[in-house]
Amino acid sequence: MNGLLNFIRRLGATAVEGVWRIGFAARFFVLLLRHSGQSLTRIHLTVREIYFSGVLSLLIIMVSGLFVGMVLGLQGYETLQRYGSGDALGVLVSLSLTRELGPVVAGLLFASRAGLAVTAEIGLMKTTEQLDAMDMMAVNPIARVVAPRFWGGVISMPLLAALFSAMGVLGGWLIGVVFIGVDNGAFWSQMQAAVDFRFDIMNGVIKSFVFGATVALIAVFEGYDCTPTAEGLSRAITRTVVTSALAILALDFVLTSLMFRGQS
């Protein structure tokens, strides 16, 4: 009986803790938006974060995009040629990348590379009292540290997803056209005919923007809210990666069902 009571008590405490954290995160997000003015008026702070989150993620994003496109080229051609539609490889590769794989895989990579780095940096600043020192110097850490990193992530992510998709298409072309022998003209012309700018590209951009904002918010919140110890920082980093991945996949389902329901 005691064991059951303890279990219910722990379950209740976990639920309360979870709701409390969601509330705190929402309040944090409102504060972040309120103090975002400095990220625009002192644009060099945000540009610096775009460099750290975006430019330094370029290599992993572009190389991953190339390989994902190459795999799509191989697998896609293997399936399409069974139905005599090998020439439609460009359509398959480009639609898969712009609608789904570009935003989702780039988002997951972004969370692992840039999101993790942001959580670690802010968390370590908290652990070493740098945020407290800033606060004591009458400099708001949310305005000076958190907001530029958030907006840096929000701006970087759609650009990275676009580059991921572009590299993926290139990878698909490399495998499909150069190595397998799909007709070059058919590859590009069918792609051009099938991919709609507003419906496919813009929806992909919207997805990547939402994923970028989600990952950036999770990353800065986990860093800012971490327990200022080595273990607390380690847990915060883990939570950033796990929560971001789950949030991206869940949001992808929601957005896909809203954007593409009954239209393709």
CB of 125 to other proteins, least distance (A): 8
Stretch that binds other proteins, among 137-145, 169-177, 210-218, 242-250 (CB under 8 A): 137-145
Task: Based on the shown chain and the rule CB under 8 A, indicate whether residue 229 belongs to the binding site for other proteins.
Answer: no
CB of 4 to other proteins, least distance (A): 23
Which of 132, 184, 192, 250 binds other proteins (CB under 8 A)? It is 132
Task: Based on the shown chain and the rule CB under 8 A, indicate whether residue 136 belongs to the binding site for other proteins.
Answer: yes
**Which residue's CB is nearer to other proteins, number 78 or number 129?**
129
Stretch that binds other proteins, among 83-91, 108-116, 134-142, 200-208 (CB under 8 A): 134-142
Which of 137, 198, 231, 257 binds other proteins (CB under 8 A)? It is 137
CB of 120 to other proteins, least distance (A): 12
Residue ranges in 142-161 that form contacts with other proteins under rule CB under 8 A: 144
Task: Based on the shown chain and the rule CB under 8 A, indicate whether residue 196 belongs to the binding site for other proteins.
Answer: no
Alpha carbon distance 172, 70 (integer Å): 5
Task: Based on the shown chain and the rule CB under 8 A, indicate whether residue 129 belongs to the binding site for other proteins.
Answer: yes
Task: Based on the shown chain and the rule CB under 8 A, indicate whether residue 41 belongs to the binding site for other proteins.
Answer: no
Which of 14, 128, 189, 192 binds other proteins (CB under 8 A)? It is 128
First to last CA, the chain: 55
Task: Based on the shown chain and the rule CB under 8 A, indicate whether residue 5 belongs to the binding site for other proteins.
Answer: no
Q: Which two tokens stand for residue 87?
A: 């020439």
Stretch that binds other proteins, among 81-89, 129-137, 225-233, 250-258 (CB under 8 A): 129-137
Give the per-residue SS3 of the chain: CHHHHHHHHHHHHHHHHHHHHHHHHHHHHHHHHHCCHHHHHCHHHHHHHHHHHCHHHHHHHHHHHHHHHHHHHHHHHHHHHHHCCHHHHHHHHHHHHHHHHHHHHHHHHHHHHHHHHHHHHHHHHHHCCHHHHHHHCCCCHHHHHHHHHHHHHHHHHHHHHHHHHHHHHHHHHHHHHHHHCCCHHHHHHHHHHHCCHHHHHHHHHHHHHHHHHHHHHHHHHHHHHCCCCHHHHHHHHHHHHHHHHHHHHHHHHHHHHHHCCCCC
Which of 74, 135, 183, 259 binds other proteins (CB under 8 A)? It is 135
CB of 145 to other proteins, least distance (A): 10
Contact in structure between 214 and 207 (CB atoms under 8 Å): no
Contact in structure between 127 and 225 (CB atoms under 8 Å): no
How many residues of this chain bind other proteins (CB under 8 A)?
14
Site residues for other proteins per CB under 8 A: 125, 128-130, 132-140, 144
